[in-house]
Chain A
């Protein structure tokens, strides 16, 4: 090989090396979970959970069925996401689920723990419908888009996680949003 192609080859190899090093995952995110993306109305299938967003609502007062008689005020906004969830393998907890908006993560609100759909207690392939409740600052809603990340465990390294995009501009908004207890539905009932 003559000198010029060798130099060219070395330069190309160096450039490829720099790009590879620059874009390689670092020690933390090399074991990040794999996001399985979807939109409302689609069944998004992760390894242990299939999730479908049926709708999303927002309001400044939250009325919890079977809970407090009076609506609960928020200085910000209640975001209620209606979902159908099906566990693939067994009992699941959704308590690590979060909404990501503009680089901030918001966990489900503990105020509706007894009514929100935070566990799938029946096991594999038994679908449930219910709501996830988040309390957000008003500015977060104005961000336009959000990602609902349905995490089932604190340790989801290298696992697949359903992530559903929400268009916050298309939210049903009213002064009061209500949350009903979750129910078991027939498999394949659809939205």
Chain B
């Protein structure tokens, strides 16, 4: 056996190294490629601070959670176990920009996102009179953007508002804590 090992040991070790390398080349490269697809630069703001990027400054000035009580008598139209999270964000731009708001928690594989609702009245929510419901600004304009998200109950305390800003073809992300 020892003689056999002396003669074939190098070949066995080579196989032991090449087999995992082969598996990585076949599968791991795909996974790494997929993991590297998020490319937008992210600017995170501290509590009560505005975040600034690409000619846009934004700060969450108010937010609230409305917990679902169901559709039945005395309910509020939001399914039990879910909640509406509403945010009011002051946004100023020094050039023409647009943005897409998302509520998010976590990062990496634990990242969860909720797009803003296009028709929150379906869940009994009414927009304020003087707020903007679309994030599209001309140069020099300031708006208060009102956004509403449908989330599981309990999401609100851990969530942040992300604005994906598009300006002159470039995209960046502003990450804003709620207040």
Asked whether any CB of chain B lies closer than 8 Å to the CB of A110, the reply is no
Is A89 within 8 A of B111, CB to CB? yes
Asked whether any CB of chain B lies closer than 8 Å to the CB of A174, the reply is no
- A122-B117, A125-B152, A189-B81 are known; give 15 further A-B pairs, CB within 8 A: A89-B112, A90-B102, A90-B113, A121-B115, A122-B150, A123-B114, A123-B149, A124-B113, A124-B151, A125-B112, A158-B30, A158-B31, A184-B79, A185-B79, A186-B80
Is B68 within 8 A of A186, CB to CB? yes
Is A123 within 8 A of B113, CB to CB? yes
Is A186 within 8 A of B82, CB to CB? yes
Q: Which residues of A are found within 8 Å of B39, using beta-carbon distances?
A: none
Is B113 within 8 A of A1, CB to CB? no
Is B150 within 8 A of A184, CB to CB? yes
Q: Which residues of B are found within 8 Å of A125, using beta-carbon distances?
A: 112, 151-152
Q: Which residues of A are found within 8 Å of B79, using beta-carbon distances?
A: 184-186
Q: How far is the CA of A129 from the CA of B103 in the complex (A)?
A: 23
Contact among B31, B70, B111, B115 with A122 in the assembled complex (CB-CB below 8 Å): B115
Asked whether any CB of chain A lies closer than 8 Å to the CB of B27, the reply is yes
| Interface 0/1 of B114-126, CB less than 8 Å to A | 1101000000000
Q: Which residues of A are found within 8 Å of B102, using beta-carbon distances?
A: 90, 123
Q: Which residues of B are found within 8 Å of A186, using beta-carbon distances?
A: 68, 70, 79-82
Interface residues of B, count at CB 8 A: 26
B102 to chain A, nearest CB (A): 8
Asked whether any CB of chain B lies closer than 8 Å to the CB of A70, the reply is no
B149 to chain A, nearest CB (A): 7
Q: Which residues of B are found within 8 Å of A187, using beta-carbon distances?
A: 81-82, 152
Q: Report if A1-B150 is in contact (Cβ < 8 Å); known contacts: A123-B112, A186-B82.
A: no
Q: How far is the CA of A101 from the CA of B3 in the complex (A)?
A: 57
Q: Which residues of A are found within 8 Å of B81, using beta-carbon distances?
A: 186-189
Is B30 within 8 A of A126, CB to CB? no
Asked whether any CB of chain B lies closer than 8 Å to the CB of A157, the reply is yes
CB-defined A-B contacts under 8 Å, sample of 29: A30-B27, A31-B26, A31-B27, A31-B30, A89-B113, A90-B112, A90-B114, A91-B113, A121-B115, A122-B114, A122-B115, A122-B117, A122-B150, A123-B103, A123-B114, A123-B149, A123-B151, A124-B112, A124-B113, A124-B152, A125-B112, A125-B152, A158-B27, A158-B31, A184-B79, A184-B82, A186-B68, A186-B79, A188-B81
| Interface 0/1 of B64-91, CB less than 8 Å to A | 0000101000000001111000000000
Is A1 within 8 A of B4, CB to CB? yes
Interface centre among B68, B81, B111 (most CB of A within 10 A): B81
Which residues 87-108 of B sit at the A interface, judged by CB distance below 8 A?
102-103
Is B30 within 8 A of A157, CB to CB? yes
Q: How far is the CA of A30 from the CA of B28 in the complex (A)?
A: 11
Q: How far is the CA of A185 from the CA of B79 in the complex (A)?
A: 6
Q: How far is the CA of A109 from the CA of B124 in the complex (A)?
A: 32
Is B82 within 8 A of A126, CB to CB? yes
Q: Which residues of B are found within 8 Å of A184, using beta-carbon distances?
A: 79, 82, 150
Q: Which residues of B are found within 8 Å of A124, using beta-carbon distances?
A: 112-114, 151-152
Is B115 within 8 A of A90, CB to CB? yes
B33 to chain A, nearest CB (A): 10
Q: Which residues of A are found within 8 Å of B3, using beta-carbon distances?
A: 1
Q: How far is the CA of A189 from the CA of B79 in the complex (A)?
A: 10
Contact among A30, A126, A185, A189 with B152 in the assembled complex (CB-CB below 8 Å): A126
Q: Which residues of A are found within 8 Å of B1, using beta-carbon distances?
A: 1
